[in-house]
Amino acid sequence: MSKLSRNLLALSLACAASSALAEITIGVTLSATGPAASLGIPEKNTIALMPKTMGGEAVKYVVLDDATDPTAASKNARKLVSEDKVDVIIGSTTTPTSTAVLEVAAETKTPQIAMAPFAPAADKAAWVFQTPQDFGIMAGAIVGHMTANGVKTVAFIGYSDGYGELWLRELNRVAAAKGIKIVATERYNRTDTSVTGQILKILNEKPDSVLVVGSGTPAALPQATLVERGYKGRIYQTHGVANNDFLRVGGKNVEGAVLPVGPVLIPNQLPDSHPSKKAALEYIKAYEGAHGVGSHSTFGAHAWDAGLLLQRAVPEALKKAKPGTPEFRAALRDALENVKELAATHGVFSYSASDHKGLDGRSVVMVHIENGTWKLLR
């Protein structure tokens, strides 16, 4: 081989190495098993549909299952950062697991896009962005419906974890502002098989309505128990139940439940002018094309929205640094923070230095369950 040939080969190999280094690595930890599996599985399915290039660079996805366990989520995040050298972490599925991921993300200065709502510690909040609706927005929508329908008293039964506590905090705030009294507060665990004791205490207070704060299929248990015990008041659920598995497990017992949801749950019932309708229909077409008609869920859409956010932010970050470097991670964080008016499946995202939740009232519609399906409340 001539000296010129050797030089050309070396140059070619150097270019190939440079190209390989430019690959963007997206780490994902989600709950494909455990109590939140009905949320995590559509998220995992959605990751497989996300683009393989962003900003002209190849994208590699590393997907891990945390089994709805915060300890496992933390270990996954640590592996993604230390071994897989990810540029960003998407995850996790639940409030406790997402909180665990943030501990690692903030420590290593790796941007995180959480698919569950939570309240990050102030000294760590700069590194996490959220795709679900804020608790305050959703609680406000529920209490608004209560007020319009003459509800004066409400009982609360929710998860005995961060999801339940944050919901209770927001319910207390918005209910007090509207003059609605909380007459009972009960907790249960995601893995519980009975809540009879808690429901009997609630029934003893004779509330006008009951708010069940859970997510996925475990949220069907309190409502089923209320119905079986003869409760006739209005039952509210949160957006954490907006999937077909909840309808399947709850059956007739969850008929009539009222809840706030993202627009992606019922895009065909929305006017064409709704800002999320186009993005929602595009997501549904992609998801159901792979998994069948009626298979999409709002939880998978949280992952899709994370992808839309990255498609907006990555090209901006690439102008400042190469993937695989601390500089790129910082530039990606900054680019996410500057996303404005991005119409996605759940709403229109506009982040800022003081707001990493990014959604407003356009991200909420009220629905009820009628004949085993979701119907827009008009």
Give alpha helix (H) positions in 83-195: 95-108, 135-148, 162-177
Torsion sign across C-alpha atoms 220, 359, 185, 152: negative
Contact (Cβ atoms closer than 8 angstroms) between residue 344 and residue 309:
yes
Q: Which tens digit of pLDDT belongs to each residue from 163-214?
A: 999 999 999 999 999 999 999 999 999 999 999 999 999 999 999 999 999 9
* pLDDT-based confidence at residue 18 (cuts at 50, 70, 90): very low
The verdict on residue 217 lying in a domain is yes
**CA triplet 312, 260, 279: central angle to 5 degrees?**
30
Check residue 83 and give its pLDDT.
98
User: What's the CA gap between 130 and 122, in Å, rounded?
Assistant: 15
Check residue 284 and give its pLDDT.
98
Q: Which tens digit of pLDDT belongs to each residue from 120-131?
A: 999 999 999 999
Q: Phi/psi of residue 361, each to 5°? A: -60, -20
- Could you count the other beta carbons within 10 Å of the beta carbon of residue 271? 6
Q: Which tens digit of pLDDT belongs to each residue from 229-244?
A: 999 999 999 999 998 8
pLDDT at 258 over 50: yes
Contact (Cβ atoms closer than 8 angstroms) between residue 73 and residue 89:
no
* pLDDT-based confidence at residue 26 (cuts at 50, 70, 90): very high
The verdict on residue 323 lying in a domain is yes
- Could you count the other beta carbons within 10 Å of the beta carbon of residue 3? 7
Check residue 17 and give its pLDDT.
45
The verdict on residue 85 lying in a domain is yes
86 lies in the same domain as 145: no
219 lies in the same domain as 338: no
123 lies in the same domain as 143: no
pLDDT at 340 over 70: yes
3-state secondary structure at position 156: strand
222 lies in the same domain as 301: no
213 lies in the same domain as 227: yes
Q: How far is CA 291 from the centre of its chain?
A: 20
The verdict on residue 266 lying in a domain is no
User: What's the CA gap between 1 and 268, in Å, rounded?
Assistant: 65
108 lies in the same domain as 27: yes
99 lies in the same domain as 142: no
pTM attached to this predicted model: 0.87
Where in the sequence is the domain holding 225, given as residue range(s)? 135-261
The verdict on residue 112 lying in a domain is yes
Check residue 14 and give its pLDDT.
47
Domain containing 17 — which CATH number?
Answer: 3.40.50.2300
* pLDDT-based confidence at residue 20 (cuts at 50, 70, 90): very low
* pLDDT-based confidence at residue 378 (cuts at 50, 70, 90): confident
Burial class (CB in 10 A: 0-12, 13-18, 19+), 196: exposed
The verdict on residue 367 lying in a domain is no
Least confidently predicted of 10-14, 217-221, 312-316: 10-14
Q: Which is nearest to 27 in space by CA: 42, 45, 57, 47?
A: 47
Q: What average pLDDT does this structure show over 62-91?
A: 98
299 lies in the same domain as 329: yes
Check residue 123 and give its pLDDT.
96
The verdict on residue 278 lying in a domain is no
- Give the count of domains, the chain: 2
Beta-sheet pairing, 234-237 with 342-343: unpaired
> What percentage of the chain has pLDDT greater than the value 70?
94
The verdict on residue 371 lying in a domain is no
Check residue 346 and give its pLDDT.
97
